[in-house]
A = this chain, B = another copy of it.
């Protein structure tokens, strides 16, 4: 196992660029969504709610995918302050909004970021207006259409970023692949959650498509392609982005079971209560004794699971060696990502320290 090289903090330049990116993304979303809201308003005043909810929803995003797209652009020599890149990066927040709104619908989640989920908000609107029929059905329709709008708007925004066709068209190719991959990953996750025979191999495939490619590798490719990056650099982005993205998701899985509620903002052992078949769980079940498997299945996915049950499941995950194995995997994958970065022919040195900093933040976080 290799030590983790070059995990230096962000340079002041990279910090400032990241702050400028966030401001640029905010501004680009405001401008684009104001135009769309005006279009909707031309149709009927009743449509105001759709525009308002999208604007409110994207305001709360972490800008993770825009950040990777931005550093992919910078690493290929893109201008730090090009407003066209801010627009392109911001478009990924609309894709992510669509994914989350539809995901909450599939999972029947009541909340998101401490607020009611979008389908709950539409159901509440239905109730407040005293409309006829079932509010839940109205909520489903409203959220489904809002997610569809975000999906369409994300590619409209990206395409209208203002960069020339010879840069835009190859980048849109990565965008296409990214969308197909994330939906493939989501469907595979749905199957994985339904089929009881989850293997570590399939769980890792879900991690790769639903998270690693979608959150890190493809945004880097998109930004790189927009700056005219060559094949070599794009290959380095894969060599850095894929293992880092996998480590990022595995960290998420560990936090879902062992995370401190004060930091994660979620109840302790939440993923165990939900019965989420993550790579961590797949690993535990692959190495558990038949008696341990039986004990695990008895509690896993029980919505009423109490702290004693959480402790029992955690104990099995620890004693089977699954936790240690996954932590080792996180360390190895992060090291792979760092080594790829060290060898990368990046144009901007700020990009190197920024990507190293993002790697650390993604895998060493506690919430």
The interface of chain A, by Cβ under 8 A from chain B, is 36, 39-40, 43-44, 46-47, 50, 98, 102, 105-106, 108, 126, 129, 131-133, 137-138, 140-142, 144-145, 147-149, 151-153, 155-156, 159, 165, 169, 172, 176-177, 179-181, 183-188, 190-191, 193-196, 202, 205, 209
Q: A129-B195, A194-B126, A195-B129 are in contact. Are A209 and B145 (CB under 8 A)?
A: no
Contact with A151, one of B39, B152, B169, B184 (Cβ below 8 angstroms)? B152
Q: Measured between alpha carbons, how far is A70 from B291 in the docked complex, in Å?
A: 66
Residue in chain B with minimal CB distance to A168 = B165
The answer to whether B180 touches A137, judged by C-beta atoms less than 8 angstroms apart, is no
- Copies of this chain, tallied across the complex: 2
> What residues of chain B lie closer than 8 Å to A193, measured between beta carbons?
133
The answer to whether A40 touches B180, judged by C-beta atoms less than 8 angstroms apart, is yes
> What residues of chain B lie closer than 8 Å to A190, measured between beta carbons?
138, 141-142, 145
User: 26 interchain pairs (CB within 8 A)?
Assistant: A39-B177, A43-B184, A43-B185, A43-B205, A43-B209, A46-B187, A46-B188, A50-B187, A102-B148, A105-B144, A106-B141, A129-B195, A131-B191, A131-B195, A132-B195, A132-B196, A133-B193, A133-B194, A138-B190, A144-B144, A145-B183, A147-B148, A148-B151, A151-B151, A153-B180, A156-B176
Given A43-B185, A106-B141, A145-B186; 7 other pairs, CB 8 A cutoff: A39-B180, A46-B191, A98-B148, A102-B144, A106-B144, A131-B191, A147-B148
The answer to whether A148 touches B183, judged by C-beta atoms less than 8 angstroms apart, is yes
> What residues of chain B lie closer than 8 Å to A185, measured between beta carbons?
43
* A234 nearest CB across to chain B (Å): 18
* A328 nearest CB across to chain B (Å): 25
> What residues of chain B lie closer than 8 Å to A205, measured between beta carbons?
43-44
> What residues of chain B lie closer than 8 Å to A155, measured between beta carbons?
152, 155
Q: Which of A147, A152, A153, A185 has the most CB of B within 10 A?
A: A152
The answer to whether B152 touches A188, judged by C-beta atoms less than 8 angstroms apart, is no
Q: Measured between alpha carbons, how far is A156 from B152 in the docked complex, in Å?
A: 11
> What residues of chain B lie closer than 8 Å to A145, measured between beta carbons?
102, 183, 186-187, 190
